[in-house]
Structure 1
């Protein structure tokens, strides 16, 4: 295991922001993970697990503890009796690399999640989702190191407590488990999921529903869907590219809020539009999900808005970007301004999606 001291964290993040870690440990095996936890405890220091750095806002002062850089690599396909192959994947593998591995083998279930930066180990933590799919739909088992019991455990899908952008890993058991492997159960020769309007438009399909497609021959392949998702994401600056300033972000910065029907009515009144024209989706228990981007735009935070060195992407309303030389303080100032203005106008509280460190 490689142990380094005072390593700058900004280069390990897509935002390009963050001070140094007191200790930086690169782990490539499960034994390394256990040793890293012992090292942190022996130094009486906090521990943070760093994967692809695509969903992080790291403090300008850095992290005064031990950063465990997850680099466990493994990608194996295992046949299962019920005919649904299991992919066993190390937490340090590239997520988009895994998606490509699956679609090239005609394994359905994650084709709409193509182009998302980061590593596999981070996906169950926030139940990563996009374009109508979530990783919770295909995760069978998450293998973790339990820092309380100092033992490796395997958690079933149900035990992970998946919900919209959440799991036990970022709620009730935050900080307890270190993900080292994720097992995915996929559908061989399955049809692609084409529930998202932008994706259906890309292929010239009707938007109303999948039932508009009458024959399997009309469906694009899994690989074609994955590449279409990457194209759509790239057009929004949501595929990391060092040459594209719009991609110096942490992805969507705010979760889509889940609110009451009364809050939806109030939002439509404030915006001066009919409730039917406000985009929203059922969220269970009489609640609805509103697009955070819709709220930002109507509060005056449009694409290209800037506040010092931090700003909003010119391609995607929800992406807060490092315009060049931005600090964590710059991003926080922009975040607080957006949250305050949306709260004042709509009485809706936005929640940050990226993890704050330090």
Structure 2
């Protein structure tokens, strides 16, 4: 496995923060990746696994450990047990948008609305990436992983990954640790083999974003290109000439709140119901069974709230920045914190804390960061 001269993490992360670590290793094959991970875990040294660097917010002090760059690539087409579907097994270091382009070229549907999301395939299940109503949970079949506790390699079905709104058993949430510390080696998706013809677009959120009526028909390629254009207008497609893209995408998560809390917010605040479990498992002990099953209690859906709306209506407009700071909200999208040029992690953290405080004061809700924070406190 090639150990290389450490590169500053500001050159390898889309927020452009972070010094050079103590040690850096490039893993070009699965065997190299497994080897360096087992070695680091056995030695007990601090370890940072780096994919595309698009979901990391790294502090200003050097990382005192090993950074492993996952550079494995490759897409393998496999049969699916479901008629009309195809499976793609993809190496963890493969570029996500390259996978989306490949799927569209092959006429495979299910991830076209997630075009332009930066990062690698191995990172996608960690926070259950999604856009415009599509999430990886909808197409993920299984992952191959290496377990940190044992060093064993295993194939785990998607049903065991705790996939939820921008979360999974792998996600290290701010202030907590992952439920299952592991590194994903490959991802297997199951996609519908629909070809290249035009067809209706499923999902109201995606149709609204693309300006389509329910009866309109378009091709997968059309969807991908228009999603990319929509994301470009928001500064959400990486572009070295555009400082609005020097970000980690959406810095704060859209909040999931109770229906009762949602009613305390202004009615114009965008919100979407989170579908409840319509078929919960009811277990009645035999000794307590009286010959009938009680009717399930009515349950209100939780509600997803637009964090961008909360930020703007707390008085923080696109382009907002603190005095003398090189960190600012994107001029195109109020949910993205951007590095306007050699800004420090502390400058970005100060802006994030200021935004959290304003939204809490105005609406009584604390926004939670979406990126993984390494050596940074909010």
TM-score computed with the length of structure 1 as normaliser: 0.91
Measured after TM superposition, the shift of residue 6 of structure 1 is 3.8
Q: CA RMSD in A?
A: 1.8
Where does the alignment leave 5 or more consecutive residues of structure 2 unmatched?
277-298
Measured after TM superposition, the shift of residue 353 of structure 1 is 0.2
Aligned to 2:225: 227
Aligned to 2:75: 75
Whether the 8 Å contact between 1:126 and 1:170 is mirrored in structure 2 is yes
Aligned to 1:272: none
CA distance in 2 between counterparts of 1:245 and 1:98 reads 25
SS in 2 for 1:240: coil
**For the structure 1 residues 155 and 105, does the alpha-carbon distance in structure 2 shift closer, same or farther, using more than 3 Å as the test?**
same
- Give the strand-richer structure, 1 or 2: 1
Whether the 8 Å contact between 2:169 and 2:180 is mirrored in structure 1 is no
Whether the 8 Å contact between 1:109 and 1:192 is mirrored in structure 2 is no
Measured after TM superposition, the shift of residue 175 of structure 1 is 6.5
Number of residue equivalences: 341
Aligned partner of 1:298 among 276, 295, 313: 313
Aligned partner of 2:203 among 169, 180, 195: 195
CA distance in 1 between counterparts of 2:200 and 2:32 reads 38
Aligned to 1:185: 190
Aligned to 1:166: 167
TM-score computed with the length of structure 2 as normaliser: 0.86
Whether the 8 Å contact between 2:201 and 2:207 is mirrored in structure 1 is no
Indicate yes or no: 2:327 matched with 1:310: yes
Measured after TM superposition, the shift of residue 41 of structure 1 is 3.6
Measured after TM superposition, the shift of residue 195 of structure 1 is 2.6
Query: Between Structure 1 and Structure 2, whose CA radius of gyration is higher?
Result: 2
Matches within 5 A, 1:49-88: 49-83=49-83, 84-88=85-89
Aligned to 2:234: 236
Indicate yes or no: 2:181 matched with 1:176: yes
- Give the helix-richer structure, 1 or 2: 1
Measured after TM superposition, the shift of residue 62 of structure 1 is 2.8
CA distance in 2 between counterparts of 1:41 and 1:265 reads 48
Indicate yes or no: 2:263 matched with 1:248: no
Measured after TM superposition, the shift of residue 260 of structure 1 is 1.9
SS in 2 for 1:101: helix
**For the structure 1 residues 139 and 2, does the alpha-carbon distance in structure 2 shift closer, same or farther, using more than 3 Å as the test?**
same
CA deviations on 1:250-298 (whole Å, 9 max, x unpaired) are 0000000111233223222xxxxxx2x2211112353211100010011
Whether the 8 Å contact between 1:7 and 1:23 is mirrored in structure 2 is no
Aligned to 2:124: 123
Indicate yes or no: 2:336 matched with 1:336: no
Measured after TM superposition, the shift of residue 37 of structure 1 is 2.0
Query: Which deviates more from structure 2 when the two are superposed, residues 19-28 or residues 127-136?
Result: 19-28
Where does the alignment leave 5 or more consecutive residues of structure 1 unmatched?
207-211, 269-274
